[in-house]
Amino acid sequence: MLNHYRVVIVGGGVVGASVAYHLAKFGWTDVAIVERDVLTAGSSWHAAGGFHALNADPNIAALQAYTIDLLTEVGAESGINIGMHMTGGISIASAPARWEWLQSAYRTFQSLGIEDVELIGPEEIRRRCPIISTEGIIGGMWSDREGHIDPSAVVHAYARAAKNRGAHILEHTKVESLNQRADGQWEVVTDKGVIIAEHVVNAGGLWAKQVGRMAGVDLPVTPMEHHYLVTEAIPELVAMQGEIPLIVDLEGFTYTRQEQKGLLLGIYERDFKHWHMEGAPWDFGIELIQEDLGRIEHELGLGFQRFPCLNEAGVKRWVNGAFTFSPDGNPLVGPVRGLRNYWVACGVMAGFLQGGGVGKSLAEWMISGAPQADIFGMDIARYGDFASNREYIRQTTGQFYSRRFVMSYPNEQLPAGRVLKTPGAYADMTAAGCQWGSGWGLEQPLYFAPAGFREEPSLKRSNAFDLVGAEARAAREGVALLDITAFSRYEVSGPGAEAWLARTFACKLPKPGRAGLAPMLSEDGKLKGDLSLLNWGNGTWWIMGSYYLRQWHMRWFEGTLPAGVTLRDISDSVGGFAVTGPRSREVLQKLSHQDLSSRALPFMGLAQVDLGLLRTRVARMSVTGELGFEINVGALEHASLRKMLLEAGAAFGIREIGFNAVLSLRLEKSFGIWSREFTQGYTPGETGLSRFIDWTREGFVGRTAALAERDAPSSRTVVTLEVDATDADATGYEPVWQDGRLVGFVTSGGYGHTIGKSLAMAMVDRSVAAPGTSLSLHIVGQEVTARVIPPSPYDPEGSALRA
């Protein structure tokens, strides 16, 4: 053991070993894995070892594909036989809705360029897996690159390959505390002595909670129990040539693979059970938990029905082991806000499937400042402090585990971890019929419905379709009221504020009393935000964006914040409403003595306005493409503002709306949003945000890369499509075709209620981006025709916004 390393990785499971391997591969060889027991102790040694292609997040699915390709490479490099069995795999559906979902998922994989998948019927499923009962099966999705590996061998392969490249492996060395020194380096206190490290990586697995708390970080992660069984030899398998494929029975809550000449049957039971929620005991190692057969009885029965040969097979061993889970089941990866050079790589429930992608992304992040892929779905910054509450973790991780194979829908709202944070007018809005969604712990209005209404989960247009349409028309034809508490707000002030903003944002800075759209770039010219910048005058600025990106953006802002600048996240102390529609000015003018005409308060203008008893900050902006005003007040004034606006608007037919209507309205204007048209994987030139860049200015982050793209445009761009849909609209990641050739994918879609057309926005090859180009998509598995149309099918000149 040396007394200094560039990187110390705490934890010797598959994730820690993968991080070490990738750091060494990319050039950082001064790396040590510190493991309190032996490599694999914890979860890695008892993992079922299966790998498969499915993931609801396409970016994570792509990283899983990377891991699958990497496994063979690492095995060869290390000289260790990892027991790779590339058997192929089948996800089977025995419910009509699930079959639709699989057909949709199949097309999503095509969008990602994953071509080794196909849809097959029951007879073909039985041919490829002769021991399965196909009773009730409608079909399945086959993937070539699925199978299983030897878990322990894979960990040792990563570790040996890392060691061969210069990394150190320190087993039987327990980390007891972490202390950050004044120079930013870390004292890693172990039972063998103190190590100084520039960087610390928490890959603690079952102990990630404790390793986080050593640095003052309470991570939203917890261990849960998970069962599988392995049978004795089964005669049908003994007689069979080759191996059966990996089988995921989505309605049966089970997965199955061959283990020598027996079967391994794993279960995601709905009756979940947490295990040592604060982290595993320090003396827990290569051990298991007593099996609990009564709790898994139902799912076990379904598995035995699907594979009748199990009824005659002896059970060789039961495995009930602990794995760590985050609230949404995805890993926690990246730098922790406010802690210099403290990184996490934990909560990786599917370690052998995702470990390669996690290791690669974190190594790139540490060395180059950003991962190559957009991994926001794994980023620790997708959570705030609210997610570390024990009850929140208990509810959300349990919900994820019990729904691991349960059908999910894009319009479904789940109950765990709710109701947590609410806007001031929450009770009044609920009484008025508001149907709520949740984002980053905050309840956000989706639409309003009559008493007793319940939206049915669906892959197609739901029974809320007409309600949303009526709200959209109210915003276009009269006046509508939208709660905008779910906008983030950051206040910037101080003598260095303007200079910092000029470096941080690529736009022309707005003058006092004005607002502007503000793209934010990374050094490589990729997007870091599509924000709004508001200059209130007197040296006070606001940055406004998406509520769920608060931790992510604050981490980015604080990373470059100099002396002389004060930055405050005021999102939870300020709320508000947007009043939008052709009669919105009349409503506000009724409440104020101030002149709110277009001359006094023009488009993108700002003003402090007295409305009734309230002193408000008003921005003449609109996310709907109509004349609109965003009214900001203190959180305690939110309910009063709503009541006052509804009373003033009654004579004009004011109607409350939710964000489902806003989705429709913004598609009619070709307005992109973050995580859809705009992500950290895209550039301003690809997304159209380049038109907001001030090319005359020097010194903003990403300028050199953005200029290079401007002069040599990317081969792809975002377009608007009119889609010939019937009962279902595009939602995202549907493939876009031209004469059978994949030319792009949908970024978002929906129905344009006020123009009567199904719309989508899509990232496509520039060769097919001209208006009038005929294309096709697959929506819920069905092919439909589409065509490129000019942007902003509603009011392309923007006259309504500027009215």
User: 177-187: per-residue pLDDT in tens?
Assistant: 999 999 999 99
What is the rounded average pLDDT of the residues 342-359?
95
pTM: 0.96
How far apart, in whole angstroms, are the C-alpha atoms of residue 292 and residue 678? 46
Q: What are the DSSP E strand ranges found in 673-773?
A: 716-723, 735-738, 741-752, 757-765
Count of CB atoms situated within 10 Å of the CB of 647: 14
Q: d(Cα 356, Cα 787) in Å, to the nearest integer?
A: 39
Q: What percent of the chain has a predicted confidence (pLDDT) above 70?
A: 100
Structure confidence by residue, pLDDT tens digits, 778-796: 999 899 999 999 999 999 9
Handedness of CA 397, 399, 400, 404 (dihedral sign): positive
Structure tokens at 136: 């009730």
Arithmetic mean of pLDDT, 47-68: 83
Q: Rounded CA gap, 7 and 3, in Å?
A: 12
Give me Rg for the CA atoms of the chain: 27
Going by pLDDT thresholds of 50, 70 and 90, the confidence category of residue 54 is: low
Residue 67, pLDDT > 80, answer: yes
Question: Residue 1 pLDDT more than 90?
Answer: no
- E-strand ranges in 613-740 read 614-619, 628-634, 655-657, 716-723, 735-738
pLDDT single digits (tens) 531-587: 999 999 999 999 999 999 999 999 999 999 999 999 999 999 999 999 999 999 999
CB 320 within 8 A of CB 288: yes
Q: Which pLDDT value is given to residue 392?
A: 98
- Domain 487-663, CATH class in plain words: alpha beta
Contact 9, 32 (CB under 8 A): yes
**Residue 285 has what pLDDT?**
87
Letter string b/e over residues 723-743, b meaning 16 or more CB atoms within 10 A of that residue's CB: bebeebbbbbbbbbbbeeebb
Looking from the CA of 581 toward its CB, the CA atoms found within 13 Å total 28
Residue entry with tokens 């806000």: 337
Compute the residue count for the chain.
803
CB atoms within 10 A of CB 546: 19
Q: How high is the pLDDT of residue 169?
A: 98
659-668 vs 465-477: helix crossing angle, rounded to 10: 60
Please give the CATH architecture assigned to the domain spanning 670-697+704-789.
Beta Barrel (2.40)
Which residue's entry shows tokens 């694999």?
Answer: 40
| Cα separation values, 166 from 14, 23, 94, 653, Å | 18, 10, 50, 71
Q: What is the mean pLDDT of residues 637-652?
A: 98
For residue 57, what pLDDT is reported? 73
pLDDT of residue 491: 98
Considering the chain, what percentage of its residues have pLDDT values greater than 90?
A: 96
CA angle 186, 189, 192 (to 5 degrees): 135
pLDDT over threshold 80, residue 399: yes
Q: What is the DSSP string of 758-794?
A: EEEEEEEEGGG-STT-EEEEEETTEEEEEEEE-S-SS
Domain 4-334+337-368 has CATH 3.50.50.60: yes
> Could you tell me the CA-to-CA distances from 438 to 283, 423, 435, 477, 728 in Å, in that order?
39, 12, 10, 29, 24
Q: What's the CA angle centered on 230, arms 228 and 236, to 5 degrees?
A: 130
Residue 343: its H or E element: strand 342-346
- Dist CA 382 CA 326 (whole Å): 11
Q: What distance in Å separates the CA atoms of residue 508 and residue 758, rounded to the nearest whole number?
A: 35
Q: Is 374 helix (H, G, I), strand (E, B) or coil?
A: coil
pLDDT at residue 56 is higher than 80: no
User: What angle, rounded to 10 degrees, do the helices at 151-164 and 58-78 form?
Assistant: 70
Angle at 420 between CA 417 and CA 426, to 5 degrees: 130
Q: How many CA atoms lie within 13 A of 59 on its CB side?
A: 21
Average pLDDT over residues 68-85: 96
Domain residue extents for the chain: 4-334+337-368, 487-663, 670-697+704-789
Residue 182 and residue 793: Cα distance in Å, rounded?
57
pLDDT over 80 at 53, yes or no: no
- Beta strands (DSSP E) in 218-274 are 222-231, 246-249, 254-259, 262-267
Which residue reads 């399945």 in tokens? Answer: 140
Report d(CA 129, CA 113) in Å as an integer: 27
735-738/716-723 β-pairing = unpaired
pLDDT tens profile 118-158: 999 999 999 999 999 999 999 999 999 899 999 999 999 99
- For residues 36 and 38, give the distance between their C-alpha atoms in angstroms, rounded to a whole number: 7
Burial label, 697 (beta-carbon count in 10 A; 0-12, 13-18, 19+) = middle
pLDDT score of 86 more than 90: yes
Q: pLDDT tens, 708-738?
A: 999 999 999 999 999 999 999 999 999 999 9
Mean pLDDT over 660-683 rounds to: 97
Two tokens at 736?
């876009």
- What residues contact 38, with CB distance under 8 A and at least 6 apart? 12, 171, 172, 285, 286
201-240 per-position pLDDT tens digit: 999 999 999 999 999 999 999 999 999 999 999 999 999 9
Contact 713, 685 (CB under 8 A): yes
Q: Cα–Cα–Cα angle for 320, 321, 322, nearest 5°?
A: 135
Mean pLDDT (the chain) is 96
Residue 116 has pLDDT above 90, yes or no: no
Residue range 16-46, pLDDT digits in tens: 999 999 999 999 999 999 999 999 999 999 9
Q: Is 424's pLDDT higher than 80?
A: yes
Does 649 score more than 80 pLDDT?
Answer: yes
